[in-house]
Amino acid sequence: MRNFILGVVITIMVLLIAGLGAALLGFVPTNANTAPPKLEEQIAMSALDASMERHAPHVNSPVPPTDENLIEGIKIYTMNCALCHGGIDRQPSTLEKSLYPPPPNLILHPLDDPDWHVFYAISTGVRYTGMPAWDKTLSAPDMWKLTAFLTRIDKLPPAVQDYWKKSSSVNPPTGGQEGHSGHKM
| pLDDT tens track for 7-19 | 999 999 999 999 8
Q: Render the burial of 174-183: b for 16+ CB within 10 Å, e for the rest.
A: eeeebeeeeb
Give the global pTM.
Answer: 0.81
CB-facing half-sphere around the CA of 97: CA atoms within 13 A: 3
DSSP helix, strand, coil percent of the chain (3-state; round to 5): 50, 0, 50
Mean pLDDT of 74-102: 90
Residues 113-131: tens digit of each pLDDT:
999 999 999 999 998 888 9
Side-chain half-sphere CA neighbours of 17 within 13 A? 6
* CA atoms of 161 and 13, how far apart (whole Å): 57
What is the C-alpha separation between 42 and 46, in angstroms, rounded?
Answer: 6
Give the burial class of 21: count Cβ atoms within 10 A of its Cβ; 0-12 exposed, 13-18 middle, 19 or more buried. exposed
**How many angstroms from the chain centroid is the CA of residue 98?**
16
Average pLDDT, stretch 41-62?
91
Residue 65 burial (10 A CB sphere; 0-12, 13-18, 19+): buried
Please check whether the domain covering 59-168 is classified as CATH 1.10.760.10.
Answer: yes
**What are the structural domain ranges in the chain?**
59-168
pLDDT of 43 > 90? The answer is no
